Structure formats: C-alpha cells, structure tokens
A and B are shown apart, each in its own frame.
Chain A
Amino acid sequence: MIETNVMTDRAIAFANVTRRFGRRNVVDNLSLDCPAGSFTGLIGLNGAGKSTLLRMSVGLLAPTEGSIVSAGCNVRRDSVEMKRRVGYVPDRPNIYSWMRAGEAIAFVRKFHTTWNQPRCEDLIRRFRLPLETKVKHMSKGQAAKLQLLLAVCHDPAVLILDEPTSGFDPVVREEFFEGILEFAADRGQTILFSSHALADVQRLADRVALMHEGKLLMAGTTDEIIDRVKRVRVILEEDAGPPTPSSAALLQSPASVLREQRAGREWTLTIDHFSPATLHELRAKPGVTRLDVLDLNLDDVFKDIVRGRDEAAV
C-alpha cells in the first residue's frame, strides 16, 4: 500500500481485515478509514475484492481476520444497531420480487423508528416510482432507485453502495447520483461506494481508495491523488541505453515509480508523490534531452497503477 491517511472521527474503519475463500485471500490485511461526512469511491478491477469488502462492512460477510466499525458500531457485535445506522445498496436489486414497490416501502418502514416519511414521499415523486408495480416487473433503473430509497429513508449515518449504477443508461445514472448527492449534502452522511465508472468517482467522490488483488494500493483525497501522481515523458538521446540502475532506484524517496514504459527514445514514467525535486532529479540523469510532465485523470492513474503492478509481476 502506498499510503493510508490516518483519520479521526471515522465513520467506517477497516482494521487489518482479511477475508479468505478457501486458500485465496480475497481481501488481504486491508486497513482503511472513511472520515465522517466523506464521500469515498472504492475502485479496482473485477475480482479486486471491492464487493467482498463492502459486504463485510455491513455484516453480510464476516471477516476471517480483523475488525470493522461502521457508523460507530462494531459490525459483528452490534449488528442490529449498525443496521439502524447504515444504508446499503447492492450491485443487484435484492428486494422480494413478488412485492410491489409500495409493499416493499411499507415493509422496510416498519423496522425503522427513524423513517423519514416526507423524504420518502419526495423520493417516490422524484424517482417516479410506480408503487403498484411488482419489483419483478420493474426496470433495472426503477428497482435500483427503489433500493436506494429504502436505503436512505431511515436517515442512516452511513450509506454503502456496491456498484449501484452498473448497466444503467446515462439518464438514470445521473438521476441516481443526484439522489445520492442530495442525500449526502442534506444530512452530512458518510458514503462509501464502489464503481467502475471512474469519471463518476472523480466527479462525485472527495476520497478514493484503490484496491487490487485484495490489497489497498492507494487511498487519499481525490484531489491529492490526482495532484501527486504525474506522468513524465522523457526523451532520451539517440544512443541512450536502458536506464540504469532500475527506474525505481532513480528517484529519491518519497517519489516512486508506479509504471514505466520504454519505446525507442521515449521513456514514460508514472510517478507517485511527484514534486519539483523529482523533476530536477530526472533532468540530471545522463542522456535526458527533454522532459514533459502530464497531468492525469483518475482513470489514467488507476490504469497505470494496475498495469504497472501487473507488468512488474511479469
């Protein structure tokens, strides 16, 4: 892991969490904190362990090792109280398919003393939910909106969403995220969500956590990550050989190379904790004729980190 910021006032805290399925560590000794009021995007490839982590955060799976606190409750010990304070939207709707939307709302409402009926009615109207339609007859978008409504109308302190908009059309996705943003803005709730839509993550999340093969590779604020990771394109002299010693050793701490590619005279480095000192250091290397520093978006950062690790492993 590159960095995990230590936060106080944590709404969600994973401490050395491991989850094994058979011999495979799907989540591997992961520690992550989500401060109260933050909007954290969890990103990673398929099979990175995001869903497992989120399911553990709401008690649907027990960690093999480590402990998890959600909304101030130990997930294993205070599971009932935790469920009063946490809302969860899964990757696929899981409401009883034989229920009508209205029945599902009435069903869930009975379990929550803090049910916010005006908010519920407002969301029903805004999401244009057909209350008389059975869940099994709803479109994917309608079912997901119903699931979101059920997750937020008891005013939870924490909202956890597992790839909630995968497969949605852009309009529905926008409406869905508008609902979430409004929810978060109104009440100052903490949100942890996973998504493959990195543009959405960059736009919505103020914090990002990147998982790969069960490990947390990077975590921090979105701006900080985008700010500190740069791509540097180095043009070498005609007869320059391969950079020696290895690129990782080229740079002084705290900078580190996340990925490097060599094509002819062009040597491209993706560097974490990039600073002017890093630039000077690179410029001072023999054979360097030109340096370009490129800003990256979250999508590029993610791809370079993951590909860099895979290439290094090969």
Chain B
Amino acid sequence: MNWVLVQKDLRLLRLAMLAAVGIALTFYVVVASITFVSWQKGQIREESRINRIYHREIQHDSSDNSRRLALFVADNCTPVSILYVVLIAAVGAMAFARERRDRSAEFLAMLPVSIRRQSAIKLVVSVAVSVLPLAVNAMVFLIASLWFARAYWGAMPVYGYLQVQAGPFGWRAVAVIVSVGLVAWIALRWLGWPWRLIVAATVLAALLTVDVVGVAWWTGSQSAGVWFNPRDWRPAAITAVFAYVGVVSSIFGLAWLLSSATRSSVLSAVFGLGLPLFAMTAVNETTRRADEASILRATGIAGVAVGALCVAAGCVVQSKRPTP
C-alpha cells in the first residue's frame, strides 16, 4: 500500500524530476562547452560571475588551465543550486494543491488509508525528490572543488569570499517572482495545453534572466558575505550549508503549507518562494553591518525551524480538510 502511494507521488512529481535533470544537464553542458572552447584558446576565466545571489569567488594566481577548469565547474554548480530553489518551491507547492484542483484528492480520500499516512508518504517522496538533485549537484561541486584544492595544495589562494547578495537585486528578484508568478497563475486559469507549458517555460526563463541580467546591474557594495581562509574552509562551508538549507527549508515548508490550503500550485510556489526571499532580503538589508557569519547561521536555523513548522501546519490543515 505504501509503495503504491510512493509510486503515485513520484508520478505526480515526474515533471519536477525531469526539470531537475534538465536544469542540471543544461548547466553542466553549457559549462563544459564554454570551458572546452576557452581551454582550447587558453582563456579560462578566473572568476565565474554567472550568478550574483550566492556567489563564491576565490582569488588565485595560477595559469594552469586544468586547475581553473575545476574551479570553474565548481563555481557553476552555484546557479544550478539556485534554480533548484525554484524547483523545491514547485515540489512543495505540488504536494496537495494539484490533487485538490483536479479533485483527485477526493479519490484519494476515499481509499482506506489515513490522511496522516498519505501526508507522511508525500513528505518523504517530496523531500527525496528535492534532496536527490541537490545531492548530485553537491557531489559534482565537491569533486570539482577537491580536484581544484588538490591541484592547488602547494599554492593555495590567499583568501576567499563567500558572498550572499542582498540589496536591490534581492528586491527585484522578489518583485519579479511574485509578479511573473501571478501572471502565470492568471494565464493558467484560462489557458490550456500547450500554452501552459509555454507560460511555465516563460516564468522559468524570466527567473533565469533576473539571475543573469542582475549581474550587470549589480554593484559590489550591496553584498553581504564572509571572508574565509581557503586553507581552513570548514567554517565558511558550514555557514554556506546552513544558509542554503535554511533557505530551501523555509521555501519548501511555506509552499507545502500554502499547497494544503489552496488549489493553486502556482500561487503556492510563488508565495512560497517570494515570502522567504522577501524576509531574507529584508534581514540582509537591515543587518548588513552586523556579524555576517552569525546572521547567515541564524538565518539558516530560522529557515529550518520555519520550514519544519510550516510542513507540520500543512499536514494538520490537510488532515482537517483533505478535499476541496
């Protein structure tokens, strides 16, 4: 019985899983292509600036292209991680809303299995679908970083800077996510297939554009970050992981909660993504002069707590009102 529910939930999240693979493959292929061409010309860039929200920048002075390649690959795992944040919002948002919308929630509710068990299985599947691509991406990042670190062990860079971008870009991102999401929601109310796919692709493209175009508008003074010594990278890595896990937890949790209360996956995803991003941007804006590492860690812990609370609240809402 449990396995049947797992299979059903995996089927419902099939699109999200395909998107995860697509995002990763697209970026890896693009990175590999650029790297290969640059390598052939002997012009591998020293820094990757594809993304500015979470940007890892390591200063170094090597002219060894193979080492730079490792750095480049590792650096370009970051935008994949960011797009996965959108994906995780979508996974959380699809938890209940979609089944409510097409009334299959009613079909499910008439099966002799408790709503609590259904929600638990759905949570396990959703978390697995969210974590698996993240884990694969982290693995690529880790392998590339280790390759870089091993190659550079004798001549490690002097310092590193783990950076979390806030400022106007953060606000723009919130505004674009919410406005584009609302437009998508309105469109989805009235449009059928294949327009829905076109709208979804447009939303994704808009988010990507914000990410890439934002680089051009960004001014370095708006960032918050942590300086670290690459020879002792653990504190910075732990801070980064804390912050990232906090972000994705709060986004997933909020999208999950909204999904249990509405019939719209799009609205759940939009506000699940927009509200935490808004809160984090506000926190970064108001506390920029404080100890940034502490803020990032606190943000991470708060994000996990908020996410867990939202998931629990979503399960309670669903148990009280399993059908539209």
Measured CB to CB, the residues of A under 8 A from B are: 55, 58-62, 79-81, 83-84, 88, 90, 92, 94-98, 107-108, 110-112
- Of A61, A79, A83, A107, the residue contacting B8 (CB under 8 A) is A107
Does A111 lie within 8 Å of B4, measured CB to CB?
A: yes
A60-B323, A96-B8 known; A108 vs B111 contact (CB < 8 Å): yes
Cα-based distance from A98 to B4 in the complex (angstroms): 15
Looking at B1, B4, B112, B322, which has the most chain A CB atoms within 10 Å of its CB? B112
Q: List 7 additional contacts besides A60-B109, A83-B112, A107-B8; criterion CB under 8 Å.
A: A60-B110, A90-B106, A92-B103, A94-B104, A97-B104, A108-B111, A110-B4
**Residue B234 CB within 8 A of the other chain:** no
Collect the chain A residues with CB atoms within 8 Å of residue B106's CB: 60, 90, 94
Collect the chain B residues with CB atoms within 8 Å of residue A110's CB: 1, 4
Chain B, residues 102-128, CB within 8 Å of chain A (1/0): the string is 111111011111100000000000000
- 30 A-B pairs whose Cβ atoms sit less than 8 Å apart in the complex: A55-B323, A58-B110, A60-B106, A60-B109, A60-B110, A60-B322, A60-B323, A61-B323, A79-B114, A80-B112, A80-B113, A80-B114, A81-B112, A83-B110, A90-B103, A92-B103, A94-B103, A94-B105, A94-B107, A95-B104, A96-B8, A96-B102, A97-B102, A97-B104, A107-B8, A110-B1, A110-B4, A111-B1, A111-B111, A111-B112
Does B112 lie within 8 Å of A84, measured CB to CB?
A: yes
Does A96 lie within 8 Å of B112, measured CB to CB?
A: no
- Distance between B322 CB and nearest chain A CB, rounded to angstroms: 8
Collect the chain B residues with CB atoms within 8 Å of residue A61's CB: 323
Collect the chain A residues with CB atoms within 8 Å of residue B112's CB: 80-81, 83-84, 111-112
Collect the chain A residues with CB atoms within 8 Å of residue B105's CB: 94
**Residue B11 CB within 8 A of the other chain:** yes
Does B109 lie within 8 Å of A96, measured CB to CB?
A: no
Closest to A113 in B: B112
Cα-based distance from A96 to B105 in the complex (angstroms): 9
Closest to B2 in A: A110
A98-B11, A107-B4, A107-B8 known; A83 vs B103 contact (CB < 8 Å): no
- Distance between B99 CB and nearest chain A CB, rounded to angstroms: 8
Does A111 lie within 8 Å of B107, measured CB to CB?
A: no
Cα-based distance from A80 to B115 in the complex (angstroms): 9
Measured CB to CB, the residues of B under 8 A from A are: 1, 4, 8, 11, 102-107, 109-114, 320, 322-323
Cα-based distance from A117 to B185 in the complex (angstroms): 43
Does B113 lie within 8 Å of A59, measured CB to CB?
A: no
Collect the chain B residues with CB atoms within 8 Å of residue A97's CB: 102, 104
- Of A81, A83, A92, A98, the residue contacting B111 (CB under 8 A) is A83
Collect the chain B residues with CB atoms within 8 Å of residue A92's CB: 103
Does B114 lie within 8 Å of A59, measured CB to CB?
A: no
Does A95 lie within 8 Å of B4, measured CB to CB?
A: no
Cα-based distance from A92 to B113 in the complex (angstroms): 22
Closest to B110 in A: A88
- Distance between A150 CB and nearest chain B CB, rounded to angstroms: 8
Cα-based distance from A97 to B1 in the complex (angstroms): 20
Does A111 lie within 8 Å of B8, measured CB to CB?
A: no
Cα-based distance from A66 to B85 in the complex (angstroms): 46
Collect the chain A residues with CB atoms within 8 Å of residue B1's CB: 110-111
Collect the chain B residues with CB atoms within 8 Å of residue A108's CB: 111
Cα-based distance from A215 to B263 in the complex (angstroms): 30
Closest to A106 in B: B4
Collect the chain B residues with CB atoms within 8 Å of residue A95's CB: 104, 107
Closest to A147 in B: B107
Does B4 lie within 8 Å of A96, measured CB to CB?
A: no
Collect the chain B residues with CB atoms within 8 Å of residue A79's CB: 114
A60-B323, A107-B8 known; A96 vs B111 contact (CB < 8 Å): no
- Of A55, A84, A96, A98, the residue contacting B107 (CB under 8 A) is A96
- Distance between B193 CB and nearest chain A CB, rounded to angstroms: 11
Cα-based distance from A90 to B103 in the complex (angstroms): 10
Cα-based distance from A96 to B102 in the complex (angstroms): 8
Cα-based distance from A136 to B239 in the complex (angstroms): 48
Cα-based distance from A97 to B101 in the complex (angstroms): 12
Closest to A86 in B: B110
